[in-house]
Amino acid sequence: MKRTRRSAAAVAVAVVAAVGLTVQSWIPAAAVSPAAAERDPVILVHGLYGSPGNWGEVTVSLKQAGYIDDQVFTLGYDSRTQSNVVTAEQLGAKVDEVLARTGASTVDVVGHSMGSLNSRYCIKYGACGGHVDDWVSLAGPNNGTFSAFLCAWRVTCREMQPGSGFITKLNAGGTLPGDVEGTVIWSPNDGVVMPATSSVLDGVHNIKVPGVSHLAMLRDDKVAGLLVAALA
């Protein structure tokens, strides 16, 4: 667990979000890059129509912050035709695989867009429970999105509709278990999550980053810095 570092990291995140600086140029390396022995491996979960290749620039940013190859992993899955519940099961298996490979006791999970939903479902209701230290949502439709009605023939889109059974269950009984630190990074200019405030969740650190579109969350330097700080 990284609880002893969280107060300083939270202050760093808040200051950077308020000032709007690029994190790499402002936060000291020690504040955002814990020693390798203390750093949890990270699993990156893409969204609808995405792939592990979406994480290329985020992976570069993590490695610039001190992560090594054996600490950054991606989950690839069928985002079009299988339920997020099935994806959550696959993520649970991935978590077990990463823990066995690295010898770590916990992992951190980062989800972009729909990846925020299936990853949180795994933490609350699946095999990820008890094995995740930090969870970070980038542009997640955490309370559903009205844009999902545009692809309602897909089960994943139906699950992302506001008020769906999946969203209702996901948000029942609290956002995350008490042993998981949560961060939501969202933009009022998202353009895909509608309304954009649907990303915001109770009981986590909600960081607003104006001027960044849905997919640009994966390429923006400031967002990358905030992500690194949240994981620290």
This prediction's pTM: 0.86
Whether 13 maps to a domain, the answer reads no
pLDDT tens across 67-115, in order? 999 999 999 999 999 999 999 999 999 999 999 999 999 999 999 999 9
Torsion of CA 134, 23, 222, 71, to 10 degrees: -40
Average pLDDT over residues 185-199: 98
- Number of structural domains the chain divides into: 1
- Please give the DSSP secondary-structure letter assigned to residue 39: P
Q: Does the structure show a pLDDT above 70 at 6?
A: no
Q: What is the CATH number of the domain that holds 72?
A: 3.40.50.1820
- H-type helices in 129-164, by residue range? 155-160
CA–CA separation, 51 and 133 (whole Å): 24
Whether 32 maps to a domain, the answer reads no
Whether 117 maps to a domain, the answer reads yes
Domain that holds residue 80: 40-220
Q: Is 75 or 29 the better-scoring residue by pLDDT?
A: 75
Whether 77 maps to a domain, the answer reads yes
